[in-house]
Amino acid sequence: MSATQNGASDRRKAEGPGAVKQPRGAEGAIKKVGVIGAGVMGAGIAAHCANAGVPVVLLDIVPGGAERAVQTMLRADPAPFMQRSAARLVTPGNLETDLALLADCDWICEAIVERLDAKQALYAKLEAVRKRGSIVSSNTSTIPLGALVGGAGEGFARDFLITHFFNPPRYMRLLEVVQGPQTRADAVAAITAFADRSLGKTVIPCKDRPGFIANRIGGQWMQSAINNAFAMGLTIEEADALMSRPIGVPKTGVFGLLDLVGIDLMTHVAASMKATLPADDAYVLGLREHPLIMRLIKEGRTGRKGGKGGFYTRSRDASGASVKYAIDLATGEDRPEKKARLESLEQRDLRKLAEHPDRGGQYMRAVLLDLLSYAAALVPEIADSVADVDAAMRLGYNWKWGPFELIDKVGAAWLAEALRADGRPLPPLLAQIGAGSFYRTEAGVLEYYGTDGAYRPVPRAPGVLLLSDIKRRSQPIAKNSGASLWDVGDGVVCLEFHSKMNALDPDILAMIGKAIAMGKKGAFKALVIHNEGENFSVGANIGLALFAANIAAWGEIEGMIEQGQKAMAALRAAPFPVVGAPSGMALGGGCEVLLHCAAVQAHAETYIGLVEVGVGLIPGWGGCTTMLRRWAENPRAPKGPMPPVAKAFEMISTAQVAKSAFEAKEMLILRATDGITMNRDRLLADAKARALAMVEGYAAPEAAKPLRLPGATGRAALSMAVQQQVLMGRATPHDVVVCEHLANTLTGGKKDHTDEITDDEVMELERQSFMALLKTPGTLARVEHMLETGRPLRN
């Protein structure tokens, strides 16, 4: 591909209606990016810059390597690209022949092999082609910045810094930035602003120390967890159960995490740390070479990437069923996985768990003492504040709590006493804080404990508005067990869901009604629907429906459907702007809430879809109706009554979920006019700004014109398509029943293709189909299976 293929024409094609507009200001200084090294990290960084709508040059030393990397990423799951068209913004090339393609790049990010000589040789070549004032950075995680710029000219050193991304670059929100004594401030500002607003990263400034923040602490934690598991005779299931939920770590725990990232990676990181850290550093002192781990690496059992498994493997038993196996740390033999059963795991209080006398409690105590004392000893060596360290661990390793937040959970005084009891040194920062806490809320402001002994506010980037901060300093306008209303300023109110997994229940629906009623009375100018949970909403609370169905309380279910339809209709007809601001999953009823908002400002990582068929149902709160209308009114879609029906049927019957906000636009779940925010921390502020911009002159939308649907002929066509899926083994008998009801709803029920049908009439068909399916044999079993396993039942 030539450089001209990455020009304005291709950029416009790739951007499309859902693209992120390039921002103004410091971040706008970066209009083109070069990435050198098309390995997993380099290619991922290039893809994510393309996600931001920026042209990228991707070069690799291997002939054809960059082209293959782009094609591989287009097939990958999870996908590095937020939409397939973003790949058009990447110009692949060869490092030896296409270096000149970097001449007009504003930022060149190097992500080649972790060898100092190779990096310095590359930098010398870059000096001959890069433009004046361009920024150069390295994605290194092990080589100090001082060494990287050693021997380089002063001009290069001024333009150079380290930008350490985490894998995968699209999904991990942390970017560690290291600047040298000569790095110019405006270069740091430009990278920080671009990474924040365009790439959606939280930028954490780090000291030029080995491993920076996250890998220094995370690596030591993994090492301690593994060493103590071997020493104390734990199973890997027990270790992973303890090193996950109890300390706010993802469910992979530690052995599962190693399988995920690659067991061999740990040995490479350990070797690097040993070579660069002082011999008396706790990380180095804890290094162990476990024969079992070395055997696994030698056998190619390096985890999921190797295809042979690692600590965990899967294989088929005699019946053909998939069975998960776990390796026995004592014998080195594989055995069927077994659930961890320890009394200590029943403890919900972390300190009590660590004080429990069983081996689980002893293990937790040992790992916590290693981890927390090490983290406390590293401030201010690796970072200026405990807040930066905690943020790095939350965003780089997906921990729920950073190490200093964990110290507050167990108590700094408890930790100090435990260290003294074991005869271990007390880090100065821990001795200094005494019985205090590293975080406190003062006058409604979250503060952290500084190394100087003073508390100061946890910093927020300019323009960031967090609901959690608002909640610390105010009381809700209204609240029930499922939702609350918060004043977010300037006449805008935020509706927050806070049920389990933000599943929609009668309390949330009631709060929607209350919010609309208050807005009609002039209590506020605009409403934003937003929360800071892991997911916007996983849909309606099907557990309530299951309970009611099991006792034949059909009237209760009818009432909930009616309540939901009224709530959605109220959102749609509100005489003031209602803006949905989702992040994470917005499924089923959560998707329907967004479909009825006047506008949506979505986080880029929002996964939206109508998935009710997974439990043998169809959308009942207007999802079918709205998707029909979106496709019927799409100017680029084929005309006639059948095309919108076919498209909506395809999406809903197969439970399609958009895997980004960009994909949601392609599927018309989001409109072309809806906005996308790359940085989740900026979502509420962006949604509020959108709502305020809509206030002047806003009026409730007029009633939509009736639709013309294909009726019986359309149902016959859809039935033929479903039967074809049955013949191919892709649809079960129960799927056929669900699809019949869905087809009846989408084609207008008893209406003929010459008849007009209103949205209210289609919603009534939704209600009838939902109730009929709920009473269909097999549906309740599907609902129950989904609640128990989180997966649809396929039979």
353-362 long-range contacts (CB < 8 A, ≥24 apart) are 353/242, 353/246, 354/410, 359/232, 359/233, 359/234, 359/238, 360/234, 360/238, 360/242, 362/232
Q: What is the mean pLDDT of residues 728-745?
A: 95
pLDDT for res 393:
98
pLDDT for res 19:
40
Tokens of 529: 């629907």
Tokens of 45: 């960084």
The span from the CA of 644 to the CA of 505, in Å, is 31
Q: The pTM is what? A: 0.93
551 confidence band (pLDDT: 50, 70, 90)? confident
pLDDT for res 795:
67
pLDDT for res 787:
81
**CA distances to 101, 301, 417 from 305, in Å:** 32, 9, 43
On whether the CB atoms of residues 259 and 304 are closer than 8 A, the answer is: yes
> Residue 41's Cα: distance from chain center in Å?
18
Task: Output 254 or 545, whichever has higher pLDDT.
Answer: 254
Q: Is the pLDDT of residue 44 over 90?
A: yes
CA neighbours closer than 13 Å in the CB half-sphere of residue 698:
22
Cβ neighbours of residue 725 under 8 Å, at least 6 residues apart? 731, 735
Q: Is the pLDDT of residue 6 over 90?
A: no
Which positions are annotated as active-site residues? Answer: 592, 612
On whether the CB atoms of residues 376 and 363 are closer than 8 A, the answer is: no
On whether the CB atoms of residues 141 and 174 are closer than 8 A, the answer is: no
Q: Is the pLDDT of residue 377 over 90?
A: yes
Tokens of 702: 């007029």
pLDDT for res 522:
96
The span from the CA of 738 to the CA of 612, in Å, is 10
Q: What is the mean pLDDT of residues 322-350?
A: 96
Q: What is the mean pLDDT of residues 372-380?
A: 98
The span from the CA of 82 to the CA of 604, in Å, is 8
Cβ neighbours of residue 39 under 8 Å, at least 6 residues apart? 60, 69, 111, 112
Q: Is the pLDDT of residue 4 over 70?
A: no
Q: What is the mean pLDDT of residues 671-692?
A: 98
Q: What is the mean pLDDT of residues 167-176?
A: 96
The per-residue DSSP string of 22-39 comes to: PPSSGGGG---EEEE--S
Nearest to 80 by CA among 655, 676, 662, 682: 662
Spell 386-404 as b/e; 16+ CB within 10 A means b: bbbbbbbbbbbbbbebbbb
| Mean pLDDT score of the chain | 94
What sign has the CA pseudo-torsion 476, 477, 483, 489? negative
Tally Cβ neighbours within 10 Å of residue 322. 8
148 confidence band (pLDDT: 50, 70, 90)? very high
CA neighbours closer than 13 Å in the CB half-sphere of residue 675:
23
Phi, psi of 334, deg, nearest 5? -80, 140
On whether the CB atoms of residues 211 and 273 are closer than 8 A, the answer is: yes
pLDDT for res 113:
94
| Predicted confidence (pLDDT) per residue in 424-451, tens digit | 999 999 999 999 999 999 999 999 999 9
| Predicted confidence (pLDDT) per residue in 125-146, tens digit | 999 999 999 999 999 988 999 9
Q: Residues for the chain: how many in total? A: 795
Tokens of 578: 């209602």
pLDDT for res 2:
34
On whether the CB atoms of residues 645 and 710 are closer than 8 A, the answer is: yes
| Predicted confidence (pLDDT) per residue in 507-537, tens digit | 999 999 999 999 999 999 999 999 999 999 9
Nearest to 712 by CA among 753, 772, 652: 753
Tally Cβ neighbours within 10 Å of residue 769. 24
The span from the CA of 302 to the CA of 289, in Å, is 15
Q: What is the mean pLDDT of residues 609-622?
A: 95
The span from the CA of 199 to the CA of 23, in Å, is 11
On whether the CB atoms of residues 600 and 665 are closer than 8 A, the answer is: no
Q: Is the pLDDT of residue 21 over 60?
A: no
Phi, psi of 326, deg, nearest 5? -125, 145
| Predicted confidence (pLDDT) per residue in 257-280, tens digit | 999 989 998 888 889 899 999 999
- 3-class secondary structure, 791: coil
The span from the CA of 613 to the CA of 648, in Å, is 13
On whether the CB atoms of residues 502 and 487 are closer than 8 A, the answer is: no
The rounded percent of the chain whose pLDDT value lies above 70 is 96
| Predicted confidence (pLDDT) per residue in 81-93, tens digit | 999 999 999 999 9
The span from the CA of 630 to the CA of 644, in Å, is 8
Tally Cβ neighbours within 10 Å of residue 34. 29
Tokens of 96: 């030896």
Q: What is the mean pLDDT of residues 308-329?
A: 90
- Token pair 């271990």 is found at 424
Tally Cβ neighbours within 10 Å of residue 445. 14
- Token pair 């690596």 is found at 219
Nearest to 533 by CA among 482, 475, 595: 482
Q: Would strands 492-497 and 160-165 be described as parallel, antiparallel, or unpaired?
A: unpaired
Nearest to 382 by CA among 460, 486, 288, 282: 282
26 confidence band (pLDDT: 50, 70, 90)? low
CA neighbours closer than 13 Å in the CB half-sphere of residue 329:
16
DSSP bridge partners of 108: 34, 136
